[in-house]
A and B are shown apart, each in its own frame.
Chain A
């Protein structure tokens, strides 16, 4: 599928999972996609699960503190602390309020949640599903959730965990819900996976491995690849490469040499991606702009242009 068509189909998805190594710009991309979808008419929430709040400065809003916060027309954001995502599971299963509090406060519960691998991952997707179904109180009707996935290196595990629980437990109301989450996450009509990377060796390597994992465990390819931080194209050197003296301030020749070599690295990595990660791709240049609402607007413009919308 071409890029334009892919960007168009993203408007129909309910959940968009944004994955990638730490430091590649997932939060920025999540917010950009969220803003783009909101402007295209989708009521969108950008969700992050992180002890620190990374989304709100990008939209110029106050921190979420766990609540759903309005960030623009049809756009919302929410930050959940990893410790808290699983708590809703208790609320769903243990109906008596007084008992809910006791369970949430109990060290047994905390030990269990800490020790139950995958429960947290499943709870994150479960929370997204509940938001989309309008089952959370105090949240608006939503068309799409963009999930800024935790950068803990287990990107695919986020999608796998629910299936593991469904299979392991097998029966009962919770297994049923785990199965719904698993089915929802693996339905390409409902959920899309976006892989974000830089055009540098290590992030590209991880992106390629992530794609391999997706294929192996879920039989699917990522729907979109986003490459951040590209140096501007530049005429390559025709002479021998001048050795660089890496001092704090450089002259024109050294600067140009650095630029050329960094761009050459980008191009080599872009080729590798084209060969080994055949998804439609968005490529974003390095911008002389602080991360924030202005940069997000500039990126949304770039996405519109790539999608043939301007």
Chain B
């Protein structure tokens, strides 16, 4: 079976969901913002959801100021005529606020909502549970996509070490939250009045785990956890249903993944790994964007005072070009395009839109050759 990638034409409203994945530090958020700008410019009502934009990008997109509203409109320059379709919106995901809002929305009553929101274990969990940021992104995506306000959502992903963690996180968090096994382990500790009672009914295995949990966790934390899970129980099914729905959406033909990667021969292995994992998980892979590539330099020697830069640039250019060629060789069915290292990082809207246009040109060129 030869792997085949999917085309992406940002100037058309399909697909409605574009997800930028890749390791930390490769410029994913910049590429996501650029894609948003060209998409909106072409008349597609677009939302870009970001995770950790730089301060300048936050400024440029205006997401810094977003306090009441989740999404802020990003003014295109030059502006889109009043009333015309093709506005760009941007949001910055705040995992804690999203989690709090979900609890407030889905808790069965005010009392349980408050019990959860003030629970100490909840506070700790919401900030530090592995995968919580990714999971909240999924929940936020669900919220936004069901509102139906946008023709297209471009989702940036958290800067985790591995792009694939983003996709696995929701099921990990959901299975933790709804874990029947964990609830059983916790509940027998405390009777209806919140007093500790000796656990029974789990036999030899139960006692070992109880002893472990007791010595590791301590009773106060166990009590907090137990109360949290009891209060949270009515929300479990809803969380699970939504996570299932978003996973379905991500695997559908409405969603396309753009893999953003760094340049150079050293990165080829990682890129191949991500591409394979995405496909194995049943997701549709669109363009692979090798970002911030050094140009090759094969011109005359520059002179002794420039010797350092001369040899460095020749080496970097050759290594980056070599990496691109290797990646194209190993992904023959995919659209592998490169974006150049800019002398100045694109942090204002016009530079970002130029970058987006360059991406559009290169995707068209790749289509023509396909």
Contact = CB atoms under 8 A, between A and B. Distances in A.
B116 to A, nearest CB: 15
A172 B218 contact: yes
A107 B178 CA distance: 13
Contact of A102 (B25, B176, B205): B205
Interface in B226-284: 262, 265-266
Q: 6 closest pairs, A vs B, by CB?
A: A23-B25, A22-B24, A117-B128, A169-B218, A288-B315, A246-B340
Interface of A: 21-24, 50-52, 89-90, 93-94, 96, 99, 102-103, 106-109, 111-112, 114-120, 150-154, 157, 164, 168-175, 200-203, 205, 231-232, 234-235, 244, 246-252, 254-259, 261-262, 265, 285-288, 290-291
B345 A23 contact: no
B128 A94 contact: no
Interface in B181-208: 181-182, 184-185, 204-205, 208
Nearest to A247: B295
A27 B50 CA distance: 27
Contact of B343 (A173, A244, A252): A244
B218 A170 contact: yes
Contact of A151 (B161, B212, B295, B345): B161
B299 interface: yes
Interface string B292-321: 010111111010011011011111110001
Main secondary structure of the interface of B (DSSP, over half): helix
7 contacts: A21-B24, A120-B130, A168-B221, A201-B55, A201-B347, A249-B295, A256-B309
Contacts of A112: 182, 185, 213, 217
Interface of B: 23-26, 52, 54-56, 124-125, 127-130, 159-162, 172, 175-176, 179, 181-182, 184-185, 204-205, 208-209, 211-213, 215-218, 220-221, 262, 265-266, 293, 295-300, 302, 305-306, 308-309, 311-317, 321, 338, 340-345, 347, 358
B24 A252 contact: no
A87 to B, nearest CB: 11
B216 A108 contact: no
B309 A232 contact: yes
Nearest to B24: A22
A252 B221 contact: no
Contacts of B295: 246-250, 254-255, 258
B289 to A, nearest CB: 14
A291 B124 contact: no
A116 B217 contact: yes
Given A120-B130, A261-B344, 13 more contacts: A93-B216, A106-B205, A108-B185, A169-B221, A231-B312, A232-B309, A247-B295, A248-B295, A250-B295, A250-B297, A256-B309, A258-B343, A288-B315
Contacts of B312: 231-232, 286-288
Contact of A288 (B176, B221, B300, B311): B311
A111 B176 contact: yes
A94 B176 CA distance: 23
Given A170-B218, A252-B300, A255-B313, A93 B161 contact: no
Nearest to A252: B299
A249 B184 CA distance: 64
A103 B343 contact: no
A108 B187 CA distance: 13
Q: Which of B26, B265, B315 has the most CB of A within 10 A?
A: B315
Given A93-B212, A94-B212, A248-B295, A115 B181 contact: no
